[in-house]
Amino acid sequence: MSEIRFDGRVAIVTGAGLGLGRCHALALAQRGAKVVVNDLGGSVDGTGSGSAAEDVADEIREAGGEAISHTANVTKADEVADMVRQAMDKWGRVDVLVNNAGILRDKSFAKMELADFEAVMQVHLTGSVVCTKAVWDIMREQGYGRVAMTTSSSGLYGNFGQSNYGAAKMALIGFMNTLHLEGQKYDIRVSALAPTAATRMTENLLPPAALDLLSPEAVSAGLVWLVSGDAPSRTILCAGAGGYAATKIYETDGIYLPPDQQTPENVAANLDKVLDAADQRELQSGGEQSVKFLTKAATHLGVSLR
């Protein structure tokens, strides 16, 4: 396989001042991308400010690459628009967007203030929406775009004390699924990365021996592929400690109950068949579920759907 390169491509990486975002930005730059390094410069909970983005941009330039920094708050459309405008003024295009910016405010749901729930949703979900919206028309007009969301096993499978984070991360999968459909015509491919790495967000959660195995570089290898020219779309790539896997959402074939049997008791009585994974499949759009159920009903009742 030929080397994956980004020569002539422009990438925006949010939350790129430290941790995974920094590693993503450096990896893209090393492969020829011109990089907008975005970071508000905040702490893990989203407070404070600093010069982290410019430090990474300096690092890229010192290595012979091209980069600018921007401290846009990803939840503020005017600041994000200014960031995108600067990229367009300097390089004339935006090819890659890596939605990486995030914060943590972990507490059990019983103890969590609504403000902490809303803040995490705002940065992870709304921030990704704001940034993607800012580049979407550019990518449509140039007939090319690669967008990566950052999801998490906390959203895909749940994690105690992270109802806010998990909700935001799973919401991004729904966002990805629809953008995948809407972007196909314009060669805009949208996927999601579910990372496990040693960063500020994980340093207090895992023992040192585990953290030593979780290099950000291993995760960035997956990210670079997700936003490459030959990238997939609507793929959830899980990466950590040198392991790479895909998460898929399947739906069982299910059952049909005629009108006179459509009761809660009959649903419960047929639960084994409802859950039977033998003929499960990955649906490509929400409408496929409706078609499946309508086809079962029409077949049983002898009704034509045409």
Structure-block tokens of residue 266: 């009959």
- For residue 152, the Cα-to-chain-centroid distance in whole angstroms is 8
Residue 21's contacts (CB-CB under 8 Å, 6 or more residues apart) are 13, 14, 15, 39, 98, 100, 101
Q: Is 176 helix (H, G, I), strand (E, B) or coil?
A: helix
Match 């300096």 to its residue by tokens.
58
- Bridge-based pairing of strands 243-247 and 188-196 is unpaired
Are 293 and 189 within 8 A, CB to CB?
Answer: no
Structure-block tokens of residue 138: 């550019």
Catalytic member of 144, 157, 165, 186? 165
Match 């290898």 to its residue by tokens.
221
244 is catalytic: no
Distance CA 45, CA 144 (A): 34
Backbone angles phi, psi at 196, to 5 degrees: -130, 115
Structure-block tokens of residue 104: 């943590």
- Bridge-based pairing of strands 10-13 and 96-98 is parallel
Structure-block tokens of residue 212: 């030593």
Active-site positions read: 165
